[in-house]
Every structure is written in structure tokens, then in C-alpha cells.
Chains A and B, each alone.
Chain A
Amino acid sequence: NAGVTQTPKFRILKIGQSMTLQCTQDMNHNYMYWYRQDPGMGLKLIYYSVGAGITDKGEVPNGYNVSRSTTEDFPLRLELAAPSQTSVYFCASRLRGRAERDTEAFFGQGTRLTVV
């Protein structure tokens, strides 16, 4: 029962460097999401995907890119890291729900990223 797995757990990047945050789920969920969490700000949606090959922007997509080549994997790419991207990143997944009955979201353990 792995659920949602994120790697790495921690990372320090220098300004301008690139990296990919990995996320994989083994629950055959259609929907996957990337959120970032900043202190006192709750979680903000970066990108989401409703299935393999389909992705769309969330509330705060600038500076990030995603892809969804398989149902299981949803990597998040930072191309040119900036200090404003210092945050905790959570990947989440859920089954597609009926109207008004969204299913629960399952979150990964998070990636704590610092850009210096």
C-alpha cells in the first residue's frame, strides 16, 4: 500500500538551476495534482491532470511545468529556480467522483525545497 510517493524529500537548489520533483501513485487514480504550501498560506494548486496526456494550469503555475505520460506518474519540473519557489510541494491523487461527491484526496509525503 504505497499510495502516493514523492521524491526527493528534501532538496536545496541554487538560483537558476533546474530539477524535477517525482510523484507516482499506485491506486489507479484518474486525477493528480501538485500543490505548494507556504507558511500561513494554506495549499495552492500549481497544476493538475485528469488523465494520461491531459494537464492544465492551476492557481500558481508560473515557473513550473508538468507532464502525464502514464496514469501513475505526474512529475513537476522547475526550469529556472527562484527564491520565490522555496516551499513545500505536495503531490496528490484521487478517483474521479460524481457531481457533488468529490472523493478524498491522498497526499504524498511532500518535498521540502529551498532555493538559495
Chain B
Amino acid sequence: GQQVMQIPQYQHVQEGEDFTTYCNSSTTLSNIQWYKQRPGGHPVFLIQLVKSGEVKKQKRLTFQFGEAKKNSSLHITATQTTDVGTYFCAGPANAGGTSYGKLTFGQGTILTVHP
């Protein structure tokens, strides 16, 4: 079945350092979504990428979708303590057919930021 792998599993950074998490799918994705989950909280939607090679920015966050639409990355510039949490990528669960909005999530990257 479809798999979405995400690395690294953990990342510890000093405040001000950059952070990147990578997402790889075993199948071509029609789109990819990114979610953030604060400690003890619930996943919150960040962004969706649809086009091959797409790059989107949200302030210090940069999201990329690979040319083959099988990989994606999230880069945070100059991390802040407010960036702490788990970042998940997620793709449609049915690679070829209708997904009905179902998502296959990566394992997530847990980011800790030391002040």
C-alpha cells in the first residue's frame, strides 16, 4: 500500500537555527498537505501543494513539492520557540482513485527549540 515516509523523526535546534523536514511518498501524489501539532494539541492545517515543483512561503516557513510529486519538504528559517511541535506531511490515501479526502500521514518530525 501507499507509504509516506518522513525524516528526521526528531530534531533539536537552538533558537535561531534553521530546520528542515523531508517527506517521501512511495507513489505519485496529486497534492500534499502539511500539518502542525503543538505538544498536547491537535493537528492544524498549514498548507497544501498541488503543482509539480511548487514552492510556497508563509513568513519563515518554505514548502516545496518535488518535480515528480513524490517528495516534499518544509524549511523553517531562524526557528523560534513558538515553532515547537510535530510537523506532519500527508497525501491522499488512494493514489489512483478517489481518496474521499482520506489522508496518509508521515510519521512526523518532532521539533524542539532551545532558547
CA A90 to CA B42, docked complex, whole Å: 8
Q: Please tell me which one of the listed residues A40, A58, A59, A97 contacts residue B107 in the complex, with CB atoms under 8 A apart.
A: A40
Report whether B99 and A102 are in contact in the complex, using a CB–CB cutoff of 8 Å.
Answer: yes
The interface residues of chain B lying within 8 Å CB-to-CB of A104 are 33, 45, 48
What are the residues of chain B within 8 A of A107 when measuring CB–CB?
A: 42-44
B115 at the interface (CB under 8 A from A): no
Give Cα A108–Cα B98 distance, bound, in whole angstroms: 24
Q: Which residue of B lies closest to A58 (CB)?
A: B102
Chain A residues touching B, range: 20 to 34
Q: Which residue from B42, B44, B101, B104 sits with its C-beta under 8 Å from A97?
A: B101
CA distance A97 to B102 in the complex (A): 11
**Contact pattern, A 78-116, Cβ under 8 Å of B = 1, otherwise 0:** 000000000000101010110111111111111000000
Interface residues on B, range: 20 to 34
Residues A102 and B107 in contact, CB atoms below 8 Å apart: no
> Is A2's beta carbon under 8 Å from chain B?
no
B103 touches which of A96, A105, A108 (Cβ 8 Å): A105
Q: Report the bound CA distance from A35 to B100 in whole Å.
A: 15
Q: Does B31 contact A (CB under 8 A)?
A: yes
**Closest CB-CB distance, B61 to chain A, in whole Å?**
16
Interface string of B22-64 (1 = CB under 8 A from A): 0000000011010100000111110010100000000000000
Measured between C-beta atoms, what is the minimum distance from A90 to chain B in Å? 6
Closest Cβ of chain A to B29, distance in Å, is 10
Chain A residue with Cβ nearest B43: A107
Measured CA separation A107–B38 after assembly (Å):
13
Q: How far is the CB of A36 from chain B (nearest CB, A)?
A: 11
List the B residue with the shortest CB-CB distance to A99.
Answer: B30
7 further A-B contacts with Cβ under 8 Å, apart from A59-B1, A104-B48, are A33-B101, A44-B105, A45-B103, A90-B43, A102-B99, A103-B101, A110-B41
Q: List 11 A-B contacts (CB under 8 A).
A: A43-B103, A45-B93, A45-B103, A48-B100, A100-B31, A102-B30, A102-B101, A104-B48, A105-B35, A106-B45, A110-B42
